[in-house]
Chain A
């Protein structure tokens, strides 16, 4: 057995001793070191530094990390949040479909996403981009996502919302040099924001412009903070990491719809379990003429488009 076996079972003496040491250090330092360390206690800053990769943390270590995340969020935003680690459900792989003949370009999904996922209000990070395209044209280079007419839909245009396709063979995961991003058993490609080194290789690897770099500290008014968060999802992120759509992991793992779907007023968005033959998404795949973006790249997106 190797001494590197800190593989998340939490029963080896080394990590137990270290945890005790860190906890003691944190408690003794908490009183004196309050204002320093960016609003964190010294103990939290210290534990942050030694925080392990998500997949290597024991259940107990994850609990401690979640508590730390809550404390940090309260210090940073003045809001009491709940941070969970809801596991994937058995026999569930998520898929998404968009009916582009229903989408009218209102961008309600974008707003729903920003509010749900605690995206910085001024930052340039938005997980969803609604492309305005000329009817009869599918060349993505001619798309405009900055469209701002008085009313939509504009005559002669159609709208194509693009977000993370949750590829089954994700090129971003292959590109990551530190394994900070991976595909979960329910098919969602997630990021450990605390493990990400911000190199942005994954952004260049992604053919869908789905990954976004957090250039600034996300600014969220306390009243608009969504307190229901998930470690791999919408918890407050630090500056300088890559973010992306995670199919609202904090909602969908509990059976709820993603926020973009709930916000969509036209019913263009269809979400469900690809492994359930009775699900809406399976009906769409079986009965509609669906296509995927840049299918020829072989990334196997779990995100389809159709029109009817």
Chain B
């Protein structure tokens, strides 16, 4: 693909999330530059910090500066342009049976691919206001509907911070834990239970009331 004939999302007006005028965060920059591998690197090299595509997150009132762990290297098909550059965009709602998830377990039928994926800038996501969002800023897309969670996540009451309680706040993005195409997390096996104390036996469902006087009385009758 040639970057010249590609429509650049950076030409669009930028969108401030949260407080207007607050310039606390410049998230996209660090992560675009941090991406490893293939075409994404070419992409990153062209973008100076000032002309980054995609909207930026500027924080909530009094929110701490946070950065987000990049997920692009984990995305199997990314950059999407690898295939989609040669394909005609088709906005019709339909079932996708090739390559992509056939059944979307998110939104109970109210949303489909292009609710979150950008039709024209294939390597980007989009918000409900149709602004392009870099894949490493996917939380901006999630936050469009799940705003309470998003706020909790920025302030640290939801999700996970990487490694430190002190210093730089680096957060795992929403999609690190929740599969956006099937967000509910399935039950799984627990780690083994603690050993029972030596000399004691494990009694399941023991009850002080039942195992004391009341039961003995019934046995006597």
- Chain A positions within 8 Å of B, measured between CB atoms, are 99, 104-108, 110-111, 122-124, 126, 129, 141, 144-153, 215, 252, 255-257, 262, 264-267, 270-273, 278-281, 283-284, 287-288, 308
Contact = CB atoms under 8 A, between A and B. Distances in A.
Q: Is the interface of B mostly helix, strand, loop or mixed?
A: loop
A252 B64 CA distance: 20
Contact of A146 (B157, B164, B165, B194): B194
A266 B190 CA distance: 13
A108 B192 CA distance: 10
A108 B189 CA distance: 10
Contacts of B163: 256-257, 262
Contact of B155 (A107, A152, A280): A280
A122 B61 CA distance: 50
A150 to B, nearest CB: 6
A145 to B, nearest CB: 7
Contact of B191 (A108, A149, A150, A255): A108
Size category, B interface: 20 to 34
A257 B169 CA distance: 12
Contacts of A152: 187-190
Interface string B172-213: 100001000000010111111111111000101000100000
B156 A122 contact: no
Contact of A215 (B189, B191, B192, B198): B198
Nearest to A149: B190
A105 B157 CA distance: 19
A204 B91 CA distance: 68
A287 B204 CA distance: 38
Contacts of A264: 160
A148 B157 contact: no
A149 B192 CA distance: 10
Given A124-B197, A257-B163, A270 B191 contact: no
